[in-house]
Amino acid sequence: MKNGFVFIETIITVVILCASLIYLYSSYNSMINNEETRVYYDDVAYIYRTSYFRDYLLNNSNIEIVKSIALANSYATNIGPMYSGLFDDEESRADFESLWTNFNVYQMLLVSSDLISECDGRESSGICYDAYNNMSYNLRNYVISLNDTSQDYYLIVEYSEKINDDITNSNVGKITSCTQGTDIRCHSYYASLAI
């Protein structure tokens, strides 16, 4: 009889320890995932860069016209230095292109808050599908993670960078622009601000 109680106590102890270890593992895994998201989504350095782009667009471009025309029948549009009608003069466009290159921008979107509030990225047709159709998988995940709809329009920027490890290059150890899917150790960082 005594051995039966010891066996039951051992089983109960093992079950409690296993449950505790599973809980600790899931908590630890959740913390790792949250930290990875924090690093790649809305890091302070990239928010600062995005703020610089927003200020430049508000002061030197026709962004208000682009909002009213490009987003009249769409929730999102890609904008960049070559976007037709964004700049009136070549000097502003060239300055914007210089910023684009120096800040390692891969893609820039102008989106309506309706994209954030009405779409979840899984639509197979319609205006939501059209908005998400030109986004990379990672950019789509970032947009889906947004939840602030207090403003009408948002500027979303994807930065693509890597640390240069080419020892034959004088820029070794410096952060450089890269192309996703082509360059090794290329990472995308995302930031958004109301515009």
| 158: pLDDT strictly greater than 70 | yes
The pTM of the full predicted model, rounded to 2 decimals, is: 0.77
| 4: pLDDT strictly greater than 70 | no
Q: Report the percent of the chain where pLDDT is more than 90.
A: 27
- Written as one string, the DSSP assignment of 119-187 is --S--SSHHHHHHHHTS-HHHHHHHHH----SSSEEEEEEEEEEE---TTSTTTTSEEE--TTTSTT-E
pLDDT in the model for residue 91: 92
Q: What is the CA radius of gyration of the chain?
A: 24
> Average model confidence (pLDDT) for the chain?
85
| 37: pLDDT strictly greater than 70 | no
Distance CA 121, CA 128 (A): 7
| 1: pLDDT strictly greater than 70 | no
Question: pLDDT-derived band of residue 177, with 50, 70 and 90 as boundaries?
Answer: confident
Question: pLDDT-derived band of residue 125, with 50, 70 and 90 as boundaries?
Answer: confident
pLDDT in the model for residue 166: 64
3 vs 96, which has greater pLDDT? 96
Over range 26-47, report the average pLDDT: 77
31 vs 54, which has greater pLDDT? 54
Structure tokens at 2: 């005594």
Residue 41 DSSP symbol:
B
Over range 49-56, report the average pLDDT: 94
| 101 three-state secondary structure | helix
